[in-house]
A and B are shown apart, each in its own frame.
Chain A
């Protein structure tokens, strides 16, 4: 991961800008900030940043409109900064192509983790996917289609396996219900959220020591699921 990555912040709150202006360069990022959505779009084109931090509540443009326009010409990762109780706005932003979200107020560690995950996925798209994925005692051999927990092979159904590999492909990143349903069951099933719940429960029962307190397959209620990456 490049420590020289450029981050563009689009945010109208001066104190949040000040806090990130101090913090992000200290962690080795190049940092630019703008206040409005229009300036953000201009800056994004001019500077071609490695990652965009976007506040959803901008004075001039809807955050989702900014995402839509950016996604017209670049796949640069976008992390949305949102307030609580905006589950639907978060889901809409993610479905529009935002890569992740972080809820205000947030700590630096949480933000850095999200930034690193997003940058890693952005750089990985060009590489070939790794053939073996390991996370704690979970090991998935993607080439041989085998799943191990603490060395014991676990048998999964085709859908369970597809669900797991989809989450692995986006490890660390939140996936909305819609995105998962589309990837695993196909575009005709994007409204059938209960499919996801049933298979996620089966998957947890097979992979998690304590399915009610999962370590890997994390639920983001109202938004989607995330495979914990680290």
Chain B
């Protein structure tokens, strides 16, 4: 039914003292029923109290329930008439809440009755007290001929107890005095006057009055304690249901929404959550559950509350004229935000018990928010540490990789300088060659580093144009001519490959890095194959080698910055593939590596194709 109505439902179990005497199996059944309800999506609540109907209704009101569904009691009508029933009590006292009565078997309930009843007003309570004493007097009138006068006093005391329990202190005091008065008036000679013939009766009156007052006082206190216990119970269950929600969710926004939802349900109020930003300015959080029209003149209140860590607004000493109550979300380190409540019924917040409940709930919210913030901070600290670690790795890697070629160059150049006379021509050439080679390596290294920095800084402007893949491949092979001397390169590029709209220079760099990588990790004279093919949406380019392949587990890590495969041999900063990934992804493509069947690695990347190929005028005439 709740699903049909798209409503939330709450399963309520009212524990009355007699339940405690039920056998364990019966109690287990209740627990199982509640578990079932929970699995079906209900929120479950356990209440304690004497009057089941009263408990259900007061809880329903505190949660703004619109409908109550109860099972039809399966017992004879006379029993119900004699002992009353939860259903009829509910129906009579439900006020604006619809009561649905259903039979134990599943079936669609029909609204039985809908009636509005005024809550017991103050005057009415005294009228009831008066009626109680009158009833006692009537009973005594009937007993009078048969019982001693002392016994009649008992009837009055019973009336006083009942009145004290049901209607409280004032009526019970009134009843005590009235009881003494009517006892005197009706049953103490001379009858129908307040005069007393026998002075002994004065003692009776005194004892009777004291006894009545003491009893009424005790009864009232019991009633208050019961109410207090019930209130605590309700508060605990409201707190529990909120803290359970808060504990199972993460993220400031979600927590703010949950807090708003619970506070709205409990206090029937509009709720706003403000959170402080880095500059200590509170910002109104927005979300589907945070309906709150901030009044312009109250715009500064939240900030004031945050700054002073004190409540303000409705019902407080500060700005009591405001339409909402503003409470700071106080944490161990000071406030982190402000919660504002604008209840439909403003007097609700004047009730100290309600205020106390509100405070407890707001504390829960503050704790949850603080927890989230601390975990965010821990996360950031972790990221910072990671970045720091990374930077150190970069520095040590870069300085090592720059120093190695520099050391060679310095050494070789100084040998040439010092050993003019005794160096053989071929030695001199060897030294010059290694200077040349190492300088070239340094150059490539620096280029990679610079490319990486520009890619990372987002400073790379793609200057896209139409390119054919064979041209990009050709240009990269021309650049690598020297390094490819000891390898065989085969290209397999279909003549009908579509043109791609890319930054040609950057894409050339991708090819250069991939082919260079293949050269570096494969034996000399082995075959490197470059292929490309296209689908409707993208072009796939492949660089295949017959090297050792990529160890499983390293497939995605080799694209990480400064990651060098375990089999990495000669120098390189471990940036080549990272740059490839950066460039390919900047073009909206993907890059990955696979193990090649038969040994080796397959590097593939894709470049998405634009909707249309550029049009070129076709000419047919031939020359010659």
Chain A proximity of B504: nearest CB distance (Å): 4
Chain A proximity of B582: nearest CB distance (Å): 15
A-B contact pairs, 28 of them (CB 8 A): A87-B463, A88-B463, A105-B439, A145-B624, A147-B623, A147-B624, A153-B624, A155-B623, A156-B622, A156-B624, A157-B619, A157-B620, A157-B622, A158-B621, A161-B623, A194-B466, A197-B467, A204-B470, A212-B470, A212-B473, A213-B473, A213-B474, A218-B478, A219-B471, A219-B472, A221-B471, A221-B475, A222-B463
A205 within 8 A of B: yes
Please state if B466 and A158 are interface contacts (CB–CB under 8 Å).
no
Please state if A197 and B466 are interface contacts (CB–CB under 8 Å).
yes
Q: A158 contacts which of B467, B489, B623 (Cβ < 8 Å)?
A: B623
What separation, in Å, do the CA atoms of A210 and B470 have in the docked complex? 10
Q: Is the interface of B mostly helix, strand, loop or mixed?
A: mixed
**A87, A105, A205, A219 — most chain B CB neighbours (10 Å):** A219
B66 within 8 A of A: no
Q: Mark B444-466, 1 if CB is under 8 A from A, else 0.
A: 00010010000000000001011
A107 within 8 A of B: yes
Q: Closest chain A residue to B493 by CB distance?
A: A212
Residues from chain A with Cβ under 8 Å of B475 in the complex? 218-221
Chain A proximity of B157: nearest CB distance (Å): 104
Q: B616 contacts which of A198, A218, A220 (Cβ < 8 Å)?
A: A198
Please state if A221 and B466 are interface contacts (CB–CB under 8 Å).
no
Please state if A222 and B504 are interface contacts (CB–CB under 8 Å).
yes
Q: Closest chain B residue to A200 by CB distance?
A: B471
Q: Is the interface of A mostly helix, strand, loop or mixed?
A: mixed
What separation, in Å, do the CA atoms of A102 and B465 have in the docked complex? 23
Please state if A87 and B477 are interface contacts (CB–CB under 8 Å).
no
Please state if A221 and B623 are interface contacts (CB–CB under 8 Å).
no
Known: A193-B466, A197-B468, A205-B495. A155 touches B616 (CB 8 A): no
What separation, in Å, do the CA atoms of A198 and B617 have in the docked complex? 10
Q: Closest chain A residue to B492 by CB distance?
A: A212
B505 within 8 A of A: yes
Please state if B478 and A222 are interface contacts (CB–CB under 8 Å).
no
Residues from chain B with Cβ under 8 Å of A156 in the complex? 622-624
A42 within 8 A of B: no
Q: Closest chain A residue to B447 by CB distance?
A: A84
Known: A146-B624, A205-B495. A214 touches B619 (CB 8 A): no
Please state if B472 and A213 are interface contacts (CB–CB under 8 Å).
no
Query: What size tier do the contact residues of chain A reach?
Result: 35 or more
B443 within 8 A of A: yes
A97 within 8 A of B: no
Shortest Cβ-Cβ A-B pairs, 3 listed:
A194-B466, A212-B491, A222-B505
Please state if A221 and B436 are interface contacts (CB–CB under 8 Å).
no
- Within residues 186 to 230 of chain A, which ones have a CB less than 8 A from any CB in chain B? 193-195, 197-198, 200-201, 204-205, 210-214, 218-222
Please state if B622 and A212 are interface contacts (CB–CB under 8 Å).
no
What separation, in Å, do the CA atoms of A24 and B478 have in the docked complex? 27
Q: Mark A120-139, 1 if CB is under 8 A from B, else 0.
A: 00000000000000000000
Please state if A158 and B619 are interface contacts (CB–CB under 8 Å).
yes
Q: A105-B439, A147-B623, A219-B478 are in contact. List 9 more A-B contacts (CB 8 A).
A: A105-B443, A146-B624, A147-B624, A160-B623, A194-B499, A194-B614, A194-B616, A204-B470, A212-B493
Q: Mark B207-219, 1 if CB is under 8 A from A, else 0.
A: 0000000000000
Please state if B474 and A219 are interface contacts (CB–CB under 8 Å).
yes
Q: Closest chain A residue to B532 by CB distance?
A: A212
Please state if A159 and B619 are interface contacts (CB–CB under 8 Å).
yes
A85 within 8 A of B: yes
